[in-house]
Copies of this chain bind each other. A is one copy, B any other.
Amino acid sequence: MSDLPISLGDVLASFEALWSPRIVTRVNDYDVRVAKVEGEHIWHAHDNTDEFFLVLDGRLLISLREATGERTVTLSRGEVFTVPKGVEHKPSAPDGARILMFEPTGTPSTGDRHEEIPAHIEVTTGH
């Protein structure tokens, strides 16, 4: 844990990889992660945790498969959304976005259940 403030912009400027979250700081046993995203992630679900998204820049879509059917929410800059645990979801960002996430340390970016993982999607618990 850094003993100095950390600029999210500096962290985001330090790498180019898409869908590859960086751990900015820890809060107890949770990570604060930031990521650059563009295009489509995959359908996946976290069986044991909610997942929090804040859009820092751009526009993030999160498709959700719920009991009532499938829908997509759109988050613009400064908007937040929590995906409840167990809900299958697929993030996407047609025009690119920068996002902040809050989730338990060790949570894999592709969840506990997921569709086949294409080459452009990394399986990671954050760097």
Binding site for B on A (CB under 8 A): 1-2, 4-9, 24-28, 30, 32, 49-52, 54, 56, 73-76, 78-82, 84-85, 100, 102-104
Given contacts A28-B50, A30-B30, A50-B26, contact A5 B81 (CB under 8 A): yes
Give the copy number: 2
- Contact A80 B24, beta carbon cutoff 8 Å: yes
- A80 CB contacts on chain B under 8 angstroms: 5-6, 8, 24-25, 32
- A7 CB contacts on chain B under 8 angstroms: 76, 78-79
Bound form: Cα–Cα A82–B3 in Å: 8
Known: A25-B81, A27-B49, A27-B52. 12 other contacts (CB 8 A): A1-B82, A1-B84, A4-B73, A5-B74, A5-B80, A5-B81, A7-B76, A8-B80, A25-B52, A25-B82, A32-B102, A54-B100
Bound form: Cα–Cα A104–B27 in Å: 10
- A82 CB contacts on chain B under 8 angstroms: 1-2, 25-27, 32
- Contact B1 A27, beta carbon cutoff 8 Å: no
Partner of A104, one of B25, B28, B84: B28
Bound form: Cα–Cα A52–B81 in Å: 18
